[in-house]
Amino acid sequence: MTAIVLDSVTVEFPLYSALGRSAKNRLLRLGSAGRVAADRGRVFVRALNAISLDLRDGDRVGLIGRNGAGKSTLLRVMSGIYEPPRGTIRIEGKIAALLDMQLGMDPEASGYENIVMRGLFLGLSPQEIESRIAEIEAFTELGEHLALPLRTYSSGMSIRLAFAISTCVEPEILLLDEIMAAGDVHFMAKAQRRLNELMGRARILVMASHTNDAVLEMCNKAVLLHEGRIAMLGAPRDVIDAYRGMG
């Protein structure tokens, strides 16, 4: 059984030591609807506040909300990048997190070396990486450039390589933070087809998107995040309507 279960998960990011800055602390708290708070002189922003969520096989969930609502932080908690100081999270199933696709890549290393490093970062074994190299070569269409340092690549070429490596996995749980552009029109079309196939095979999908049409097309549930809290969980159309009504 594949599952993501969060119980009262709270994530706070410290800002600075603020002993003796009580007036400034009060102003910060007033201007942030309570998300900036102070505890014994430590000022912090509460990115997630008591989030509880239970996702199972077949759930395809869209995260919506304004910038800073907590969408990316929630995905990073689910992926294991952030460990919540309060609350618990239980994950059952193999995760692929397409959040920062170039995380773990070295500009001084060659394309082939980055395939190995990024593959290990994604949890693949050396044997699994070796078996996927030919597929990655073909998909990127980078040819002899794969033997060159990543710093010699254009931004579009780097994205091609990162995308190809990140999507060569077979996840049970797929986490997406916006659907990114991946270079020229030809490659974007190919990347979208590959991403659609990956989403179709995943048993649980969680995606953050500013595009309501994408949530309506791909998801059977939606979560509205507001100031680090779940404001609503329900059918995508109902949640999107509620989000629009927030003004």
The residue extents of the domains of the chain are: 3-93+207-245, 98-202
Say what the pLDDT of residue 19 is: 46
Would you say 5 and 90 are in contact if contact means Cβ atoms under 8 Å apart?
yes
User: Average per-residue pLDDT in the chain?
Assistant: 86
Give the CATH architecture of domain 3-93+207-245.
Answer: 3-Layer(aba) Sandwich (3.40)
Question: Tokens 């294991």 correspond to what residue?
Answer: 80
- CATH (one of 1.10.167.10, 3.40.50.300, 3.40.50.720, 3.30.70.260) for 98-202: 3.40.50.300
Coil, helix or strand at residue 79: helix
Give the number of other Cβ atoms within 10 Å of residue 95's Cβ.
21
For residue 103, name the pLDDT band (cuts at 50, 70, 90): confident
- When pLDDT is cut at 50, 70 and 90, the band that residue 44 belongs to is confident
The answer to whether 3-93+207-245 and 98-202 have equal CATH topology is yes
Q: How many CB atoms lie within 10 A of CB 208?
A: 24
Bigger pLDDT: 153 vs 199? 153
Give 108 or 191, the one with higher predicted confidence.
Answer: 108
Over residues 229-243, the mean pLDDT reads 96
How confident is the model at residue 101, as a pLDDT?
80
Model pTM score? 0.80
Whether residue 129 contacts residue 116, with contact meaning beta carbons closer than 8 Å, is answered with yes
Least confident of 29-43, 81-95, 196-210: 29-43
* pLDDT: which is higher, 27 or 12: 12
Question: What is the structure's pLDDT at 20?
Answer: 45
Helix axes 111-121, 126-140, angle to 10 degrees: 130
Under 8 Å between Cβ of 78 and 59: no
Per-residue pLDDT averaged across 216-235, rounded? 95
According to DSSP, the β-strands at 3-17 and 42-56 are: antiparallel
